Structure 1
Amino acid sequence: MKHADLVFCPGYWGKTYLVQGMAGLVRNGDTWMSMTPFELESQEIGVRLSRGHVVIMGMGMGWAAAVCALRGEVTAVTVVERDPEILALHRGLGIFSQLPPAARAKIRVEQGDAYHWTPAEPVDLLMPDIWPLAVSDGRVEEVRRMQANVRAASVYFWGQELEIARHAVAAGRALDDAGIAATIADFGLPLIGPEYPGYAGLLSTAAHRHMRDRWFPGHAPTHVPAA
């Protein structure tokens, strides 16, 4: 764990913020998760729409699990993490033990592989967050592998707005409600997000700010409007 006293951080779709007291999870010089506005905003929609039994693939710093557990609409949170060092770190820090008793009682942590773990009871929302970068090739297929085992009623994966944007542009679609809906249909996943107010505008803004050279080869747009 590392700690930054004062740092400027860009948001996912929000502006650049001056952040004080930011914690980060670092391994071999690479930041796997941090409490930056980018990280918080890029999972905010999934958290805000969470309900029922939520399964989070990848512990990270545990904030998404903690905030989901605080929601009255959420009845249980299962966190699946394969790395024993991350699990030991969380046991040592006692992050979830600091939650109110009712929220703390909802959280269960299991050691397992995101691509092979299967639930013992129905899952209402699957939230995979196992990647160090917000964009990576093959992510949709990887989420499909997880969903094939979990069979959740809905899915929200980290970086999905950027993934939707790059696939939509490659298919010649606009980043509007219709283009987003068609692209999600191609994914074959029960993604949530489009029902969130202003989703198309937020997606376009995130793509405008963060996609850079991550578009599919030969499909980089000349301009992506920001909301």
Structure 2
Amino acid sequence: MHPYSEAYYRRELQRMSALRPMVLGSLVVSRESGPRPGDGYMYVETRRTMLRDVPVLRLDGEVWMSLTPMEVQSTFMAIRLAHGRVGTAGMGLGYFVQRALEKPEVESVIVYELNDDVLQLYRRTFGVHPKLELHHANARLLEGEQWDFFYADFYRHLLTPQAIDDIAALSSANLIGSYHWWSIEQTVLEALHAGLADRLPRWMLDAYLPFLRLFAQHTRSRTVQLFGCGAALVEELERHGLGRRNSFVQT
């Protein structure tokens, strides 16, 4: 199913129907309705239709995650690529975790989350699963671990340089088969727009060009959202040894 289709979004929203309003320590979970947000994933949304019964997670009064179309679209590739022993940092509402656990090619999912209330929220909502491990831990401090796939999902903003710092540090301290961070697809898009595809590591192009082709089909009549930071992102990758010539992360 196309990740940008309305049918896909409705299906994914239904998958998270177990989430119910609750207050848990510093967290508040609600289900809200309102106008469709102006930002999709990598495009400007022009439709003004209503979204209904959307799960929203607030931490200390600020929205931390909401299951909008942008959230679903930006998690599509992480779900698709997950396999074997999966590690993930940042749990949010548990969307990626739930979807990864459903995949037969995923052997286990190991979650590293700093906020214990988030872990308690997941346990109360979804219970236990034989393939799942939950750890109250700082993923940035992990050493000597091994994952077939790792998903870093603890960023508040798209295209943060911290994501590149994290892949460099975690990949040097642990054994990782393939690594994905939230908004990596937009990193590739920005580099392509800057004409710098030849400086991206081959694994990034192989993994994400198919998704960007789907995105291009979706955005034919919409405005692509670009920030003009492709050169800076490529330079940051190269500074950390992640460019085309010296990348040490494989897929």
Distance in 2 (alpha carbons) for counterparts of 1:84 and 1:32: 15
User: How many angstroms apart in 1 are the aligned matches of 2:31 and 2:57?
Assistant: 9
Q: Partners of 1:23 and 1:119 in 2: how far apart?
A: 36
Normalization by structure 2: what TM-score?
0.66
Alpha carbons of structure 1 residues 130 and 143: separation in structure 2 relative to 1, 3 Å: same
Runs of 5+ in structure 1 lacking a partner? 98-103, 174-178, 218-227
Paired with 2:207 and 2:118, the residues of 1 have a C-alpha distance of 34
Aligned mates of 2:208, 2:163 — CA distance in 1: 22
User: Which residue of structure 2 aligns with residue 85 of structure 1?
Assistant: 117
Q: Structure 2 CA distance, aligned partners of 1:194 and 1:67? A: 23
1:125 is the counterpart of 2:149 = yes
Matching residue within 171, 188, 199 for 1:147: 171
The alpha carbon displacement at 1:136 in A equals: 1.5
Give the whole-Å Cα distance in 1 for the aligned partners of 2:165 and 2:212. 23
Is the 1:79–1:108 Cα contact (8 Å) retained in structure 2?
Answer: yes
Letter in 1 for 2:141: H
Judge conservation of contact 1:54–1:123 (CA < 8 Å) in 2.
Answer: yes
Aligned to 1:114: 139
Q: Secondary structure of 1:124's match?
A: strand
Secondary structure class of the residue paired with 1:200 = helix
Output the CA distance in 2 between the equivalents of 1:95 and 1:209: 36
| Counterparts in 2 of 1:160 and 1:202: CA distance versus 1, 3 Å | farther
- In 2, the alpha carbon distance for the partners of 1:63 and 1:46 equals 11
Higher mean Cα deviation, 4-13 or 110-119? Answer: 4-13
Q: CA RMSD in A?
A: 3.0
1:53 corresponds to which residue? 85
Q: In the alignment, does 2:201 pair up with 1:184?
A: yes
2-side partners of 1:41 and 1:157: how far apart? Answer: 14
Aligned partner letter, 2:158: A
Count, aligned residues: 197
* Deviation (angstroms), 1:57: 0.8
In the TM superposition, what is the alpha-carbon distance from 1:115 to its structure 2 partner?
Answer: 0.8
Q: Identity percentage over the alignment?
A: 19
Correspondence for 1:200: 212
Provide structure 2 residue ranges, at least 5 long, that are not aligned to the other structure.
1-28, 233-251
Asked if the contact 1:161/1:203 (under 8 Å) is kept, the reply is no
